[in-house]
Amino acid sequence: MIRFNQVYKRYPGGYAALKNLSFDIAEGEMAFLTGHSGAGKSTLLKLIAAIERPSSGSVLVNGQNIGALKLGAVPYLRRNLGLIFQDHKLLFDRNLFDNVMLPLQIVGFDHRESARRVRAALDKVGLLKREKANPISLSGGEQQRLCIARAIVNRPTILLADEPTGNLDAESANDIMDIFKSFHQVGVTLLISTHDESVLRQYQSRTLTLKQGELQS
C-alpha cells in the first residue's frame, strides 16, 4: 500500500530530514511511527500525502509514484487518504457538520447521501449530538475526534495521523486510539506517528523508529 525505496529528503541548504528510507506497509496494516521530535516523522507523512516530494528514491502510494505525480493529480491522491493533524486544522467559521461535509463537497457528492455520511462519521467519533456547534467550543480531544471524522467521511483506504494524541490526556488519547483500532478492524491501512510510549506498549503493531532521519531496526 505504501512503499518507500531508498528515499532521501533534503531541504535547501543541505539539511537532510530523511536518509535512505526503505520500508513497506501492507494493505490493512496498522503501523506506528516513532522517534524524537525532529527525527523526521512529519516529513515522512508529508511525503506520503504529496505535501513534500522526495529528493531521491521513490515513494509509492496505492501504486502511484509521488515523486512523479503531476500537480493536477495531487488532489485525487489526497482524496484516497485520510489526514489527521496534531493541530486539527479545523475551520472555525462553520459548525461541526459543515466541517465534516467539506471533503464530500470537494468531491461533489450527492447532497442527501453526503448528509447521511457526515452524520455517520460524527456518530463514529461520538460528536453527533453537537453537529450544530462551532468547533471552537470543543475540547482538545473532541477537536481531534472531529478531525478524524473529517478524515474518514469519504472512506479513505489509508489513514495518516501525525501525533494525534500529542496534546491529549491519557483518557482522551485512549478514545482516539480505540477509534483507530476500529478502523484497523475494518481493513483500513493506518500509519500513526507518536512519541507516546504508553500507546506503543498497548498495541503490538509494527513500529518504525526514526532517528535523525534514519530508520532504526
Cα–Cα distance, 89 to 24 (Å, whole number): 28
| Contact status, residue 7 vs residue 21, Cβ threshold 8 Å | yes
Distances (CA, A) of 217 to 23, 186, 206, 207, 209: 11, 29, 11, 9, 7
Q: Can you tell me which of 36, 65, 68, 106 binds another protein, judged by CB under 8 A?
A: 106
Instruction: Give φ, ψ of 21 to 5 degrees.
Output: -90, 130
**Closest separation in Å from C-beta 75 to another protein:** 5
**Based on C-alpha coordinates, what's the Rg of the chain?**
17
Does position 79 interact with another protein (CB under 8 A)? The reply is yes
Does position 155 interact with another protein (CB under 8 A)? The reply is no
Q: Can you tell me which of 83, 138, 191, 215 binds another protein, judged by CB under 8 A?
A: 83
Q: Can you tell me which of 76, 123, 170, 206 binds another protein, judged by CB under 8 A?
A: 76
Cα–Cα distance, 158 to 40 (Å, whole number): 20
Q: Can you tell me which of 60, 102, 115, 120 binds another protein, judged by CB under 8 A?
A: 102
**Closest separation in Å from C-beta 162 to another protein:** 11
Under DSSP, is residue 116 helix (H, G, I), strand (E, B) or coil? helix
Does position 107 interact with another protein (CB under 8 A)? The reply is yes
Q: How far apart are the first and last CA of the chain?
A: 21
Q: Can you tell me which of 1, 23, 95, 109 binds another protein, judged by CB under 8 A?
A: 109
**Closest separation in Å from C-beta 184 to another protein:** 21
Cα dihedral sign, 48-26-123-199: negative
Does position 93 interact with another protein (CB under 8 A)? The reply is yes
Residues of this chain that interact with another protein (CB under 8 A) are 46, 49, 51, 72, 75-79, 81, 83, 85, 89-91, 93, 102-103, 105-111, 150-151
